[in-house]
Amino acid sequence: MQIKEIHQIKMNINFLVKKNKINLDGYGDNKFIVSGKIYKNPILVLPNEIKIKKNLKLSNIKKKYLEQIIKRHKLEFIILGFDSKIKKILQYKKSCIEVMDTGPACRTINILLSEGRLVGALIFPIQN
């Protein structure tokens, strides 16, 4: 990682001793750093892999889409994380979908994955 990129990161995330190979190291304006690699698009974080969702827009997210991810990857639940400045209100009552800001979503998925939980997160970068 280059020094200039470190100054653009909104937050470095302290992480626990992890049992898995995925770790969200930090997030910033329009990017994530996951296990040392920079991603500039929405990402789907799974227990053992990251999937880039380059053309995915928050406005296209439907409950059924998230439920399909849960079923396909046999997850306990999924976290949907996005920039609260977007002001989109999403509520999924009585479902396996948790909605939160990008920052808390990154910290939460790190903790859950470090515990060996079968969870995922679909997170969108913070917009500058």
pLDDT in tens, 91-106: 667 789 999 999 999 9
pLDDT of residue 88: 61
In a domain, 104, yes or no: yes
Q: Report if pTM > 0.85.
A: no
Torsion sign, CA atoms 106, 107, 111, 114: positive
In a domain, 84, yes or no: yes
Taking Cα atoms as reference points, which of 35, 30, 34, 118 lies closest to residue 82? Answer: 30
Distance of CA 89 to the CA centre of its chain: 18
The more confident residue out of 19 and 88 is 88
In a domain, 87, yes or no: yes
In a domain, 58, yes or no: yes
In a domain, 128, yes or no: no
Which three-class secondary structure state does DSSP give residue 40? Answer: coil
pLDDT of residue 47: 93
In a domain, 73, yes or no: yes
Query: What domain range is 108 assigned to?
Result: 3-123
pLDDT higher than 70, residue 5: no
Report the number of distinct structural domains present in the chain.
1
pLDDT of residue 2: 39
